[in-house]
Amino acid sequence: MKKIITMIGVAGILSLLPFCKKSTAKPEEPTTITTQQLKQDTAQLYVLLDSKPCKIPQEEFTSATVDIRSIKVNNSVHGWEELIPVPGAWDVVSLQQASVPVADITEKSTVHTGTITQIALTFGNNNKLVVNDVAAPCYKIDGKEVILNFQGEIKPGTLNEIVVSIDICGNISIQNKYDQEPCYILKPVMAFQSFKTIQNTPQISRF
């Protein structure tokens, strides 16, 4: 009799076990970004640099380069977005005399759609000045960053162009310090020049 009771007790406990199992939560499915969503959220943008011509030609400056290391735009919703810079320093004296007086300073870069309110340019240290065919021993840019305000609307699936200008005319001064060689200082006077949509493009790159 004891054996029968024991077997019944064990069977009862086993019958209750399935109800004591813990339920395992299934992981959420990852969100998939479709090509259509990318087309709705992104566009292409590049930046050109123009060098303002001088009213009186600055013949003493053979060349004056500016090293632009980074360019970014400020989206009113997404904040600052970095563009892909074109490597190199730009001779803004030679640019004044070029048949096409503008230079690409960024590659075509993917940005979010929406309103662009600012563009920022940061300078590096690879800046050189040649005065009457002789390299200046000291040449500096007064400031590391220039931020320009403007307003432009980036629409989905478009290719867009921003042109900014630099004006060196009358903005290169000489700083003399006791027992030191004179140093040329360029004040980077820059301005927003134009913004326009070039074309619609189906090529959308991921961030």
Q: What is the DSSP string of 34-69?
A: PHHHHHHHEEEEEEEEEEPPPSS--TTEEEEEEEEE
What's residue 33's pLDDT? 46
Residue appearing with tokens 């960024």: 106
What's residue 45's pLDDT? 98
Parallel, antiparallel or unpaired: strands 158-167 and 42-51? parallel
Chain mean position to CA 145: 13
pLDDT by residue for the chain (207 residues), tens only, comes to 444 444 444 445 445 445 444 555 555 555 454 545 545 699 999 999 999 887 655 678 889 999 999 999 999 999 999 999 999 899 999 998 888 889 999 999 999 999 999 999 999 999 999 998 899 999 999 999 999 999 999 999 999 999 999 999 889 999 887 777 889 999 999 999 999 999 875 544 434
What's residue 20's pLDDT? 46
What's residue 14's pLDDT? 46
pTM confidence score: 0.76
What's residue 202's pLDDT? 53
The predicted-structure confidence for 129-154, as pLDDT tens digits, reads as follows 999 889 999 999 999 999 999 999 99
Q: Which residues of 58-75 are buried (b: 16+ CB within 10 A; e: fewer)?
A: eeebbebbbebeebbbbb
What's residue 204's pLDDT? 43
Q: Find the angle CA(124)-CA(195)-CA(34) to the nearest 5 degrees.
A: 90
What's residue 161's pLDDT? 98
Question: Among candidates 195, 174, 179, 167, which has minimal Cα distance to 131?
Answer: 174
Other CB atoms within 10 A of residue 206 CB: 8
Based on its alpha-carbon atoms, the radius of gyration of the chain, rounded to whole angstroms, reads 31
Tell me the domain boundaries of the chain: 32-200
What's residue 37's pLDDT? 52
What's residue 4's pLDDT? 44
